[in-house]
A and B are shown apart, each in its own frame.
Chain A
Amino acid sequence: MDMDEDLPASEPCPTFTNLASFTGPSASPSSYAGPEVEVRALASMATALYPLARAEGLRGLAAVLEKGNAGNGVAEYCYGCAAELLRDEDEDIRLVAVRLAGICVEKIAMREELSGDADQIDLIFLQLSSMARDMCAKVRIEAFNALAKMQRVSDGVLLQSLSKKMIKTDTGSATGKKISPKLVFPCAAGIFAHGIEDEFYQVRAAACKALGELAKFSNQYAQKALDLLMDMMNDDTEAVRLQTLRTLLDMATYGHLSVQEKHMHMFLGILMDANVIVRNAARKILGLVKLPKLQMFKSALDGLIAGLEKDPEDQEIYGVLFSIGKNHGSFSANIAKHLAKEISMASDGELILDKPRIKALLIVSILAPCSVDKEKELDIPAVIFSHAIPLLGTISCALGEDTQDSLLSHLFHRCGLPFWGKRLVSSDGKDSECFSVETADGTHAQIGKTAMSTNCLDEVVIMQSARLILETVQGAWAMRKSCIIGEVQSTLRTCKEEVNILAVNSSGSAYGFLSFVSDYIDAVQLIVEMWRFVQSENSYAFGSTSQDILLEKFDTSVRRMKCCYVGLHRELEVQVLELALLAILFRLSELAICSELVLDKLHWITNHLDGLCADGSYELSDFSQEVKKSFDANCIDCNPAVNICSFLEIFDLKPATNFGMVNARSAVLKVCDTDTDTENPLSCVRGLPVGVSFDVSLQNIACHDRIWLRMIAGESIQHVFLDLSCFGGDDKVKSCSTVIPFYATPMACSFVLRACLVIECPFGSICDHQEGHGGPRDCVVQLCDELDVYFVSADMSKGGG
């Protein structure tokens, strides 16, 4: 309760935020009661008499919850507090209460295991729904945002939220399950029908977003929601129309968009919209959905062709046509047949390939054999493919850059012509030919398609293409035995490039994830290279140094993966640890001596892996089991002969299914105020310490991370520990400007100070370095690029001036 007095009247909220951040790391496992006491105190404040105190209490609870260190039941308890105040007279309190409820919902939903009965979830959904009819627009927005986070809501309740009319529950037609009487909230019915008609466009957009999020969980709901969304395309605010498109795109990406005939007129309408963004999004959606009828397929094609005729330069349409054709194998085969007839009927010169229609139809047709329904042997006349060859430039341009070869080979192959491309020459085995046609084409087309959509800031699509890339990486890894290493390496390089292309346009969590994937591919590339060394008979020919360099690089990239990302899913964490294990094995095999330190690390990792897999959700891979076995059997002092080859044989990259919300830890280091470069150096006095003022901003760094500033001038290195408690800002971004002295200025007229922020990368409590030298205890990873600070001796600069 003592914090009530400490509460500054003017701006109490940051106090709680800080408070929460302080208690988080300082609470050792034994005294973990911290947050609970805090929650308790804040909850009692939330029932206070004065509205401002109630609001602050709720805000405090939200801050505690957002720290994420809430134990079991805290989220439920906080939800209870929020639910009490949902009906408060003060609209500000209602707003905060709904916001808190939203955070609680998120926490509850994040838990993997099903906790609490389904009725509880439904009750929460309905309570939040009834807030979506509040008189205050902000409360409504917040309520819809909270609803978007709900999961595992029962179908009946979901469907009721779409219809203002009470759905009769006793017939049980909708779900077969009755809604229990306590779950009848008259005003929770049809909130989405109300939401999309709301006066405030922000509410409409939020409602639309929530519709899309909830549509992921129920097909029946998604269908009904689509009917509502159709009307939203006529909304008079552009922001709402765009949100609608985004929702539709999401639904299409997740495969929940089942377009029916009654919806087609709307899609065709927005294909001709005056706004180019709207048109593009509409096309993208069409490229993703599966149309059930040939008639609809044809009308969609006509719509696209009309767009092409209006603006023949629009390259994106080709990409969409390409994927539409691929998604509807039999329909495009049908188109191809008609087209072939048309081609054969036409006398020379009459059929002009330049006509947008013919171009479009050709593009649709060529990928029909690669379509999703492979069981049916689709018979595409060869004449189509031969006519498509001149269009190669257009197509590959629309799809991305390096697809031309594979596409050409595909076309030649289908025409029955010999293809002299390097790919076919280099790969004589049947296996690899199959690879180049299937995976290269397929994934490149996919990646090409998704790369285009990054402009739309669509994280979902990025995630999906990242998934595809990862699958390709794993495929390549699996091929390392059967195929030429060069092939594998080139595939990996392509993957890396794709990731980099994707990363250019992304931000936030998607960026974090992509940079993780990039590191991951780096590591795999390095393993492959080392594998090559190990395999080759005359490894000494390369010299041990190059292997050393590889190993060091590998170590660094593993360390980066381990330390520079937060929010990795457990599955990924396991994979990273396995890579770390591999790094240690390499180290052991190379040294051929068993340093105790290295062994300690190895044991630490195996224990950690055990811990991660202890609850049975993941199985320990063969590789880790093997490592564990061989090192458990050997006692520490005897020297285990590490046969890296055998370990590499069984090492396997498993395709990850869950990624989690990956955020990259990063930092920006700048010299305050001035732009220092070679032209404008800072001045100092030879041999005397000099103070440099730095602007430091850290992203996604927790308070317990140990951050150092490393300064190098010539030979001398100085590490300065940064006390994070001096930093302002929240958990996401911390920043601070500080003056840091550099002691060892060299006795030179001018010098360059290379400054860099590094983070300690701890292996449990195992220390690499001896104590007492003042630097980091452990290996470090760079958080940013090195910053060059130029100095010139003061007397020199005077002399020069």
Chain B
Amino acid sequence: MAIECLVLGAGQEVGKSCVVVTIGGKRIMFDCGMHMGHHDCQRYPDFARILSATPGATDFTSAISCVVITHFHLDHIGALPYFTEVCGYNGPVYMTYPTKALAPLMLEDYRKVMVDHRGEEEQYSYEDIQRCMKKVIPVDLKQTIQVDRDLVIRAYYAGHVLGAAMIYAKVGDAAMVYTGDYNMTPDRHLGAAQIDRLKLDLLITESTYAKTVRDSKHAREREFLKAVHKCVSGGGKVLIPAFALGRAQELCILLDDYWERMNLKIPIYFSAGLTIQANMYYKMLIGWTSQKIKDSYTVHNPFDFKHVCHFERSFINDPGPCVLFATPGMISGGFSLEVFKRWAPSEKNLVTLPGYCVAGTIGHKLMSGKPTKIDLDKDTHVDVRCQIHQLSFSPHTDSKGIMDLTEFLSPSHVILVHGEKPQMAFLKDRIESELGMPCYYPANNETVSIPTTHYLKINATEKFITSCTAAQARDGLEKANLLCGNHLSGVDGDVKADEGILLMEKSMAPKILCEDELLQLLGTERHSVQFESLLSSRVEEVQTTIVDDVVSEF
């Protein structure tokens, strides 16, 4: 038996994660994402390959046993409505409760941006999203789901974003884990990934930061707080452009905590309705956050931010210091751009950019060097005199974390996805040399085949067991004697070997038995063959020399 792993997306790149794995005849699709960088047919995974790899299957529903989505980011879920509603997949789709709750928000938000702002052709409609979400079966952490008679899946906590999961799948004896995106260090609102030690044939892991080792988060947090505090105590305004989900909540917890400790009275605002909605979801989905929040929410729900005040658009012209979280991140447009235009010209103000900014956005321009003037279009310019602070918070694990997880799970094989090729090559070498596991990083549309273990249940006859235990007892006694002399270190070789005969017959369970039982079973007598060594010697030779020769033989 083997595991076939077809990488439809996120092979040697980041974007449109989609891996189709075949175990023992069952076909599972992990994630169904879209690529944000492409605007043509490359945007979606090449689903047709599934059909061509499945002889005899006419549609996706028969070709694929189930689809499992790890979390709500678009590069993991973006193609799902397309796959179910346009391609016509009708089978089960699994995702965690938070993902199911938050995914429609994300999908609809993106659809609007695509259709309304860019004027692109609609790939799927709002109704499609709703119909698609109806097909979703929500799962809980560590809940074992029997998809069909052979296939079992289970979700484990992955950190990363609210509701992110790592997926364990098992058919017969073959088992594997698909990590999705995960984080091995906890942040302010989410815990670290957590999984049991499992017997695995294959681990498919993300490798976004295959080469980077990040240092302590504390220092970065401290710098961020210092910068913000300095700005507001100087009477400045702080703009934090962030996406609605995840980063904004994390930073806000951090600030809220600091405000409390330092007894600051400066208001913190959230700009958009989506963020408010997201905060509501976070408040409801407390069970999926970090231990600290779980511990404290009975007293005080940390997402009930004490220092966050009601916001209205007119506030941006008010005097006095404040902190504002505005969507979208990267200052790619919308409200965050509007605020930026107002605030950037004052050197008292601060713009904090959490995380990565895509090339072409204003965020990217601010991060690459310190511009004094930014051209929005031909006629509009913004003078940038404010301070820029860059934060490198990332919800992905670093190289150390990937190694730690791989070592902890100790799978037989590792496949890397969701990363950049040169870094993946580096990590592959490390995994192979340091952990001794074969490792692959296939490109898109490549297939990797991996052998699996097969466990055989063997019956042992009573006689065999008795003889084994007798031998062990004898062994034990000898060792006990040794021990009395305080030679404990001398007997650490604890391997006990016994001899038996493994009998495998067709249509019968395999069996292990003793030597004489075999004779009985076969109904034959014991034949003995004896060997004798022969010395050739010539009679003519003198008697004494023969004697000498024989002596020297032995």
> Bound state CA distance, A193 and B217, in angstroms?
9
B215 is an interface residue with CB less than 8 A from chain A:
yes
| Contact indicator A135/B400 (Cβ below 8 Å) | no
User: Known: A40-B479, A190-B400, A199-B186. Is A135-B408 also a contact (CB below 8 A)?
Assistant: yes
| Contact indicator A47/B215 (Cβ below 8 Å) | no
User: Known: A40-B476, A40-B483, A164-B400. Is A77-B408 also a contact (CB below 8 A)?
Assistant: no
| Contact indicator B404/A133 (Cβ below 8 Å) | yes
A36 is an interface residue with CB less than 8 A from chain B:
yes
| Contact indicator A189/B486 (Cβ below 8 Å) | no
Which chain A residues numbered 160 to 176 have a C-beta less than 8 Å away from chain B?
164-165
Q: Mark B434-476, 1 if CB is under 8 A from A, else 0.
A: 1100000000000000000000000000000000000001001
| Contact indicator A234/B489 (Cβ below 8 Å) | no
Say which one of B10-18, B187-195, B342-350, B510-518 lies at the interface with A.
B187-195
| Contact indicator B197/A198 (Cβ below 8 Å) | no
Q: Which residues of B contact A72 (CB under 8 A)?
A: 486, 488
B128 is an interface residue with CB less than 8 A from chain A:
no
| Contact indicator B486/A133 (Cβ below 8 Å) | no
Q: Which residues of A contact B213 (CB under 8 A)?
A: 164-165
| Contact indicator B290/A234 (Cβ below 8 Å) | no
> Bound state CA distance, A201 and B435, in angstroms?
30
B378 is an interface residue with CB less than 8 A from chain A:
no
User: Known: A33-B484, A193-B215. Is A187-B489 also a contact (CB below 8 A)?
Assistant: no
| Contact indicator A201/B292 (Cβ below 8 Å) | yes
| Contact indicator A193/B489 (Cβ below 8 Å) | no
Q: Mark A18-40, 1 if CB is under 8 A from B, else 0.
A: 00000000000000010011011
| Contact indicator B186/A74 (Cβ below 8 Å) | no
User: Known: A44-B476, A76-B488, A199-B291. Is A187-B403 also a contact (CB below 8 A)?
Assistant: yes
Q: How far is the CB of B211 from chain A (nearest CB, A)?
A: 12
| Contact indicator B408/A33 (Cβ below 8 Å) | no
| Contact indicator B216/A196 (Cβ below 8 Å) | yes
A635 is an interface residue with CB less than 8 A from chain B:
no
Q: Which residues of A contact B199 (CB under 8 A)?
A: 89
Q: How far is the CB of A756 from chain B (nearest CB, A)?
A: 43
User: Known: A135-B194, A201-B292. Is A37-B480 also a contact (CB below 8 A)?
Assistant: yes
Q: Which residues of A contact B292 (CB under 8 A)?
A: 199, 201, 236-237
What residue of chain A has the Cβ atom nearest to residue B492's Cβ? A80
B503 is an interface residue with CB less than 8 A from chain A:
no
* Contact for B195 among A71, A135, A193, CB less than 8 A: A135
B407 is an interface residue with CB less than 8 A from chain A:
yes
B222 is an interface residue with CB less than 8 A from chain A:
yes
B185 is an interface residue with CB less than 8 A from chain A:
yes
Which chain A residues numbered 165 to 215 have a C-beta less than 8 Å away from chain B?
165, 184, 186-187, 189-190, 193-194, 196-201
Q: Mark B159-200, 1 if CB is under 8 A from A, else 0.
A: 000000000000000000000000001100001111111110
| Contact indicator B488/A77 (Cβ below 8 Å) | yes
Most B CB contacts (10 A, CB to CB) among A33, A94, A237 go to A33
Q: Which residues of A contact B134 (CB under 8 A)?
A: none
> Bound state CA distance, A187 and B410, in angstroms?
13
> Bound state CA distance, A371 and B483, in angstroms?
59
B221 is an interface residue with CB less than 8 A from chain A:
yes
Q: Is the interface of A mostly helix, strand, loop or mixed?
A: loop
> Bound state CA distance, A91 and B195, in angstroms?
11
Q: Which residues of B contact A1 (CB under 8 A)?
A: 473, 476
The interface on chain A, measured as residues whose beta carbon lies within 8 A of the other chain's beta carbons, has a size of 48
A702 is an interface residue with CB less than 8 A from chain B:
no
Q: Which residues of A contact B408 (CB under 8 A)?
A: 133-135, 187
| Contact indicator A194/B185 (Cβ below 8 Å) | yes
Q: Which residues of B contact A390 (CB under 8 A)?
A: none
Which chain B residues numbered 492 to 531 have a C-beta less than 8 Å away from chain A?
492, 494
* Contact for B218 among A36, A94, A197, A200, CB less than 8 A: A197
| Contact indicator A73/B489 (Cβ below 8 Å) | yes
> Bound state CA distance, A194 and B290, in angstroms?
16
| Contact indicator B400/A197 (Cβ below 8 Å) | no
> Bound state CA distance, A194 and B404, in angstroms?
11
B219 is an interface residue with CB less than 8 A from chain A:
yes
Which chain B residues numbered 249 to 276 have a C-beta less than 8 Å away from chain A?
257, 261, 263
Q: Which residues of B contact A89 (CB under 8 A)?
A: 196-199
Q: Which residues of B contact A236 (CB under 8 A)?
A: 257, 292
| Contact indicator B488/A196 (Cβ below 8 Å) | no
User: Known: A91-B197, A199-B191, A236-B257. Is A186-B186 also a contact (CB below 8 A)?
Assistant: no
Q: Which residues of A contact B215 (CB under 8 A)?
A: 164-165, 193
A228 is an interface residue with CB less than 8 A from chain B:
yes
A633 is an interface residue with CB less than 8 A from chain B:
no
What residue of chain A has the Cβ atom nearest to residue B253's Cβ? A236
What residue of chain B has the Cβ atom nearest to residue A274's Cβ? B261
* Contact for B492 among A77, A94, A197, A274, CB less than 8 A: A77
Q: Which residues of A contact B480 (CB under 8 A)?
A: 36-37, 40
Q: How far is the CB of B493 from chain A (nearest CB, A)?
A: 11
> Bound state CA distance, A72 and B483, in angstroms?
11
Q: How far is the CB of B466 from chain A (nearest CB, A)?
A: 15
| Contact indicator B197/A37 (Cβ below 8 Å) | no
A795 is an interface residue with CB less than 8 A from chain B:
no
What residue of chain A has the Cβ atom nearest to residue B469's Cβ? A1
> Bound state CA distance, A82 and B473, in angstroms?
23
A231 is an interface residue with CB less than 8 A from chain B:
yes
Q: How far is the CB of B173 from chain A (nearest CB, A)?
A: 15
| Contact indicator A234/B222 (Cβ below 8 Å) | yes
What residue of chain B has the Cβ atom nearest to residue A84's Cβ? B494
Q: Which residues of A contact B487 (CB under 8 A)?
A: 73
* Contact for B484 among A36, A232, A237, CB less than 8 A: A36
Q: Which residues of B contact A71 (CB under 8 A)?
A: 486
> Bound state CA distance, A231 and B222, in angstroms?
8
Q: How far is the CB of B16 from chain A (nearest CB, A)?
A: 29
What residue of chain B has the Cβ atom nearest to residue A74's Cβ? B488
What residue of chain B has the Cβ atom nearest to residue A80's Cβ? B492
> Bound state CA distance, A37 and B476, in angstroms?
10
Q: How far is the CB of A597 from chain B (nearest CB, A)?
A: 39
Q: Which residues of B contact A165 (CB under 8 A)?
A: 213, 215
Which chain B residues numbered 270 to 313 have a C-beta less than 8 Å away from chain A?
290-292
Q: Which residues of B contact A137 (CB under 8 A)?
A: 291
Q: With contacts A36-B486, A74-B488, A164-B398 known, what are 5 further pairs, Cβ within 8 A?
A: A37-B484, A135-B195, A135-B196, A196-B218, A199-B292
| 10 A-B contact pairs sorted by A residue (CB < 8 Å) | A1-B476, A33-B484, A39-B488, A76-B488, A77-B489, A80-B492, A89-B198, A133-B408, A231-B219, A234-B218
The 10 closest A-B pairs by CB, nearest first: A231-B218, A199-B186, A73-B488, A33-B484, A77-B488, A36-B483, A199-B191, A187-B404, A89-B197, A186-B434
